[in-house]
Copies of this chain bind each other. A is one copy, B any other.
């Protein structure tokens, strides 16, 4: 193709990668790129803090399955992305983050708004680039998008010195040539055979599903396999939605705040088929007593995950969807068994529950009501108690409909991510299930939502405290509540109005359904302040470092 500036080449590369929206905030050294975006046809959403640009791109990526793109200027703009990039990294979200940089000749001189963002983000990116010549732009962008979305997805950062965006180049989009990068997609037939045999021999199998199934679009194959062999399925927080929770085989979520029956099943299982999951400490509890009787089959696209935290009997490296399809073919149908009966009894005897009928609003009831009114909604969460209630008390049925910061656990993720998800799926109803602590961390994005008419519905479960931390203080620190009281500031309804959003409030159980209906009917960003007690708890709970068998049921 023709001669163009670096900035034009970036825009051209983005178009070739099919990018339709970029979240960002301009600054001095990124101006040439902003000037090129001005008449590019690519939509740019101006956010109010760069952290939100990264989270919005992340939410967009998780909701659509496409690569999310964010853009920030050099220095503080770039460092403001770090939390968002780390969030995407821990949850394997495909993202490309572009940052401005000081001109090449100022690199390393502590120039104005200079930060060594490639150095800073090495621990939290799948890969990153500092582009040193304009002519490298097409190659770098091609590689960055390829690396971000293939294999185990993840964020890739591209740092763009100002001169590189101004200099001219001959644009040609090259083929991928990455000798050091080969995403493992094909599964090994022999390993599938061994895994299938183990599944057939098992008497008490459990399928344990993580985000890998979501990213590989393997949910149909998962259902097929599970139904064929009648294996109960439990998901991690990242896997929520990959298996319909209204299926008789569903165990819901496992781990620290998983269902009692999922954890019991894991502890009694003689075989665990882990698919696209990584045996995180929040899932396994005390690792030495995790699934003590089980052989472990581990399917993962990232070989480094296999054997990282637990010993694995049958490793299967490869794409989760392919592996599940192959497994479903390789196994013979099984019938409903004693194991299924046992699991069903656990489900009956130890359901998720909460105390009903009080005067105050129960957060669990809010989630159930949302689920009743809007069962197909996309549920985005903040982090903490709100996140766990959203995982537990909404019946999740669709992958990519539950969006939450699992690995990094980033408070403030939910609202900008919901904005990104809604922009990626404008036809869907998108809720941000929030706490009053988390929502404050990126509350400035109300401006972005209002100005761009992004009708996200923010449900604040307002307990006036940092609830999850307070719950730990309540249980393990003799109710010594140090620095977890937020003082019910601000008034979120007034706040919504200050931004031109709709603000609603419920203080009694009888008001919940009404305000939620009003929120759903609203065609603009809406904040619903639901006032709950500071003493609400997430139950059940496996204390950190304890075995899954030591699960506690707490008073609601």
Contact = CB atoms under 8 A, between A and B. Distances in A.
Contacts of A114: 90
A158 interface: no
Given A31-B477, A83-B80, A444-B443, A490 B486 contact: no
Contacts of A235: none
Interface in A268-296: 278, 280-282
Given A24-B483, A35-B480, A489 B408 contact: no
A35 B482 contact: yes
A113 interface: yes
A280 B495 contact: no
A391 interface: no
A26 B444 contact: no
Given A48-B440, A469-B31, A482 B37 contact: yes
Nearest to A255: B112
A76 B374 CA distance: 31
Interface in A138-187: none
Interface string A88-123: 001000000000001100100111111110011111
Contact of A124 (B44, B48, B115): B115
Given A27-B469, A469-B28, A482-B37, A76 B123 contact: no
Interface in A43-99: 44, 46, 48-49, 51, 75-76, 79-80, 82-83, 86-87, 90
A500 interface: yes
Contact of A110 (B278, B483, B498): B278
A250 B120 CA distance: 40
A26 B384 CA distance: 12
B26 A482 contact: yes
B120 A82 contact: yes
8 A-B pairs closest in CB distance: A494-B498, A38-B482, A76-B410, A116-B123, A79-B83, A495-B498, A490-B498, A490-B499
